[in-house]
Structure 1
C-alpha cells in the first residue's frame, strides 16, 4: 500500500467567522425596514376601520384633519423600534441574528393586531399583552422580554391615542399599565415552565392586575359591566392559549430551542434518537453518557442544562452516515483496515458537517446544529495522522488530518468538546482511581487549550476548573472499583430457592 505524497508545509487552520458585524447590521436593517412598513400599513388599516365604523369620517378626511397626529405616531414608532432593534438585534452579541429580530417583530405585529380587534369588536379587558412577553422570554431571556413588553405596550397606547380609536383615554391607559404588569408576572411565573398544563394553571394568576384596573375604572361596580369583569378574569388564560398555539410555529419557523422543543427532542422516542439507537447503538450510548456529564457541568457553571443535554444527545448524529467506521459501533472487523488513512480521516471528520446538515434539514434549533459542526473544532485526528506517518517519509499535510472547524463558539459547545474527550479517554484507562481520572481529564483540557480550541468562546479558567472538578467526581463514580464476588455452590442455592428437599447448608 502506498501513500500519496503531501505538501511539506502544513496549512494554518483558520476558524470561519460566524458573521461579520457589517452583515449583521445590514440584515437587521432590512428586517427593520420591512417590518416598519408593515406596522405603518397596520396603522393605516386601523384608521380606515375606525373612520368608517366609529364616527363616519372618510379615510381621506381623517388625514386632512389629523395628518399631524398620524405623523407623530409614525415618528414615535420609528424612534421606539429603532431603539429596540439596535439594542436587541445588533448590540447584544448573543441575539445578533436577523431571525431573532424578525421573531420579535412578528410577535409584536400579532399582539398589536389581536389587541386592536379585541379592543374594537370585543372587550378591551381581554387584550393578550402577555403573549409577546412569553414569546420574547423564549427568544431573548427574561430581562429583554420585559423591555420588549414595555415597548409593545407603548406602541399599543400610541395606536389607541392617534388612530381615532373608539377607546376612552382611561381605557387606553389601563391597557398600558395592566398590560405591562401582567407581562412582568407572565415572564417570571410562566416563562420557564415546560408543561403546557402548568402554563394554563399558572396563567390564572395573571388576571390580578386586569381585575384591579377594571374595578378602579368601574368604581368597584361589577354589575354594570359584567362582561368586562368576565373578560378581565379570562385575559391571562387567553394569553397563555395564544402562547401555546403560536409557540410551535415560532419554534419551527425560526429554529429556536425553546423549553418545550428541547423537552420533545430529549425524549428517547424522538425520531432521530430512535434511528441512532437502532443503527449506531454504540454512538447512542456514548451520547447518553456525554449528555449526563455535560448536563452536570452546565449546571455547575450556570449554563442551560436542558439545552446542553439536547446538544449532547445529537452531537454525533452525523455518524449515521457511516456508523460502521466508528469504533464504538464496530464488533470484530475494523472497516478502516482496508483503506488509506487519508480516506479514513475524511470519513471521520465528515460526521461533524453531516450532522449539521442533517439537523438543519430536519429544522432543528440552530444552537444544536452548531454544536455538531463545532464540537471537534480544528483538533487533529491523531490516530490516522500517526498511521499515515508509517506509510511515507515525506511531510504530511496537517489539514488532511484535522477537523475543519469552526472552533466552539459557546460555553455549551466547549463543555461538550471536553466531556466527549474525557468520556472516551477515561473508558480506556486501566486505573480508574481518582488521581488517574483527574490526570486524564486535565490532559484533555490542557491539550485543547494549547491547540487554541477555546479562543472563540467566552469560557473562563474558573469555568474550566469547575468543569474538571465535576467530571472527576462523576467519572470516578461511574468507573468505581467493584468487589470481587466469591464463588458459591450455585446448584444448592437454586435447590434451596425452589424449596427442594435436601441440605440447607453450603460447604465452605
Structure 2
C-alpha cells in the first residue's frame, strides 16, 4: 500500500492530467445534444452523391415549415370568435326608450308624430340588438365567423361585420330617420339613444383561444408515410421537391426523441470516443511539441477550460436557437491561447475545438470551414495584442472573412442572392464585437490562472513602476546596466524571432536582487571604496551569488509573474563567480566549487538564453580598454563560446545558427556604443 502511495505521489502530475482528460471528456459529452446524426449530406437542388437510398424503417413524411404555417394561418382566419350575450339588456333598453319618450313628448314632439317616432325608435333598437351591440371595437376582420353564446350555450352564428359598436350608432340613426322622414328629430334621437344604449355582447377571449388551440392541435405535421425498404432516391438524382422533403423527414427521424431513447447509450459511447480522441490528440501535441506547457498542470487546465467554455457557449446557443450560432465568438480561443502561449498551439487547439463543435451544429461543413478560416486569419493578423488598434483591425478582418465566406456558401447553395439572409451578416458583426471582449478576459485569466500576457509585460516594461523606480534610486548603476541589457536583448530577440517583449521585461528585472547589497557590485561603487576588500573571497562570492536568491524573493514579494522570475533564476545559470574563485585559488588549494557557483538552473528557453548572453557581454564590456572592432568581435566570441562550452544552453531550445545571429547583433550594438567620435576644435 505504501509503495502504491509513493508511486502515485511521484506520478501525481500525470494522474492529474488523466483525471482532467476524463473529466473534460465527460463534461463535453454531457453538454452535447444526445441525438443520432444522419450519415448522409445533401443539398436542395444538387445531385444525390451517395449510393441508392432505401428507407431503413417506416417513417412519416413531415410537412415543411411553409406548409405548416399556411395551415395555421388558415385555421386562425377561419376560427370562430365567441361572444357572451346578456339577454336582459334589450328589454331594459326598450323600457328606457319608452319612458324617455314620454318625458319629452309634452315639450318637444307633436302628438301626431308620436306613433311614427315610437315605431322608428323600436325599429332602431331591433336593428342595434338584432345580432348584438359590442362593448368595444375589436381589431377583427369583418369576415370572421362569430358564435353568440347565451349562458354558455350557442344561440346563433353570424359574421363580425354584423355586430354593432358605438361607431355604428350614428349611421344607423341617420339611415332610419331618413327612411321615415324624421330628420328634424335627429338631435332628439341622438340624445335619447346615446344616453340609454348599452352593450349586450362581451368578447369571451379565453374560450376563443381555447377553441383556437384545439383546432391548431388538429393540424397534422405529416403527409403520408414511407414504408421500410422503399427506394427514396437514386444516385445522381436531383434533390428537390418531395424528394428533398422525404430526406429531411428521414434526417429528422434519426434525430428524433424516439431515436434518442432507443439508442441513447450507444450515442453517448460514440460521442465519448470522438471527444476523447480529439482531447488525446491535444495532449499528445503538447507532450511532443510543447513539453513545458504539458508539464505545467495549470497551463493544461487553462487550455481545457477554454475548450469547455467554447463548447458550453455553443451548445447553449444551439439548444436555444441554432440560427444564432454565428454570434458565438469562437475566435476568442486562438486569440487567448496566442496571447499566453504561441500561434501554433492556438491554431491546433482551435481546429480541434471546431471539429468537436461540428458534431452538434447544423450545416457542419459550412460551419467548420468558416470557423477554421476565421481562426487562421486570427492567428495571422493578430500581433502585439497589447496595441488596441491591432485588435480592432484584426477583428474587422475576421468579420470580413466571415461575411465573404458565408456569401460564397449561400450562392453555392441557392444559386442566387435573392433569398439572402442579410440578418446573418448582422450576427457576424455581433460576433466581431463580442471578440473584443478578449481584452478583459485575458486580464481575468491572468488573475485566475497566474499567467502573463504581452499586455501585462507592456505594463511591467514601464520604468516608472514602483520596483524599477526603487532600483534606480537604490542601485542606479544596476538600473543603467539593466536598461542596456534590455536594449541588447530586445534587438537579439527580434533578430531570431523570439518574444522581444518578454526578454526585455526579464532584462529589466533580472538584477533586482542587487538592491539588498548594492555597494558590493562594481557598477554601484561611485565613491571608489570597495567593501569586498574587507571580506574573504568566499564571503564575497556568497554575496554576489545571493543576488539571484534575493531577486527571486523581491520579485515574489512584488507579485512578478513566474515567466519574469525565470529570468532572475537563470541569468547566471550554473556559471562561476570567476574573479573570486581565482582569487581564492591563489591562497587555497582545497576549494569547494559549489561555494563559487550559481545554483542555477541553466536557461531553458530562447529568451532566457538571450538574457544570459546579453547580461554577460554588457557587464564584461565595461572592462574593455581602447575597444576596436576586432577586439569587440573577439570579446563577444570568447564570452558566449565559454557559456556554450560550460553547457549553459544545453536545455534551451536555441540553435547554433540563432546563437551566431545573436553574436552578430551584440557585436554591432557594442561597436555602436564604443564608436569613437572625432574631436571637435574648441
Q: Does 1:237 align with 2:433?
A: yes
Q: Contact 1:125/1:232 (CA < 8 Å) preserved in 2? A: yes
CA distance in 2, matches of 1:224, 1:91: 44
Residue of structure 2 equivalent to 1:430:
625
Q: Which 10-residue stretch deviates more, 77-86 or 476-485?
A: 476-485
What is aligned with 2:276? 78
Question: Secondary structure of 1:158's match?
Answer: coil
Map of 1:51 onto structure 2: none
Partner residue in 2 for 1:103? 302
1:448 to 643, 656, 660: 643
- Shift of residue 256 of structure 1? 3.8
Q: Distance in 1 between matches of 2:531 and 2:519?
A: 7
Give the 3-state SS of the residue equivalent to 2:604 in structure 1: coil
Give the equivalent residue in structure 2 for 1:156.
357
- Render the CA deviation track for 1:341-384: whole Å, top value 9, x for unaligned: 32221121112233234434545443332221111112211222
1:359 corresponds, among 549, 555, 570, to: 555
Gaps of 5+ in 2: 1-7, 35-254
CA 99–477 in structure 1, closer or farther in 2 if over 3 Å, else same: same
The superposition leaves residues 324-346 of structure 1 with CA deviations (integer Å, 9 ceiling, x where unpaired) of 32221222233333333322211
Please give the alpha-carbon distance, in whole angstroms, between the structure 1 residues aligned to 2:598 and 2:341: 32
Return the TM-score normalized by structure 2.
0.60
Indicate conservation of the 8 Å contact 2:570/2:602, yes or no: yes
Other-structure match for 2:339: 138
Alignment of 1:79-478 (within 5 A): 79-97=277-295, 98-121=297-320, 123-160=324-361, 169-170=362-363, 172-212=364-404, 215=407, 216=409, 219=414, 227-239=423-435, 241-332=436-527, 333-389=529-585, 392-478=587-673
The match for 1:4 is none
Matches within 5 A, 1:20-59: 27-28=13-14, 30-41=16-27, 43-44=29-30
CA contact 1:380–1:402 (8 Å) conserved in 2: yes
**CA distance in structure 2 between the partners assigned to 1:323 and 1:255 by the alignment:** 31
SS in 1 for 2:622: helix
- What displacement does 1:96 show? 3.0
Q: 1:354 to 1:151 in 2, by over 3 A?
A: same
Q: Counterpart of 2:573 in 1: which secondary structure?
A: coil
**Hey, what's the Cα distance between the residues in 2 that align with 1:43 and 1:377?**
47
Asked if structure 2 preserves the Cα contact closer than 8 Å seen for 1:89 and 1:101, the reply is: no
Higher relative contact order (CA 8 A, sep 6+): 1
Q: 1:119 to 1:227 in 2, by over 3 A?
A: farther
Q: After the TM superposition, which of the residue ranges 205-214 and 279-288 deviates more from structure 2? A: 205-214
Moved more, 208-217 or 267-276: 208-217
- Gaps (5+ residues) in structure 1? 1-21, 49-56, 161-168, 488-508
Alignment match, 1:17: none
Query: Could you tell me how far 1:284 is from its partner in structure 2?
Result: 0.9
Pair 1:25–1:311, CA change in 2 (3 A): farther
Whole-angstrom distance in 2 between the partners of 1:115 and 1:364 = 36
SS of equivalent to 2:437 = helix
Secondary structure of 2:625's aligned partner:
coil
C-alpha RMSD of the superposition: 3.3
SS at structure 1 position matched to 2:603: coil
Instruction: Identify the structure with the greater helix proportion.
Output: 1
- Quote the Cα distance in structure 2 between the aligned partners of 1:224 and 1:460: 54
Larger Rg: 2
More strand by share: 2
The 1-side partners of 2:591 and 2:272 are apart by 64
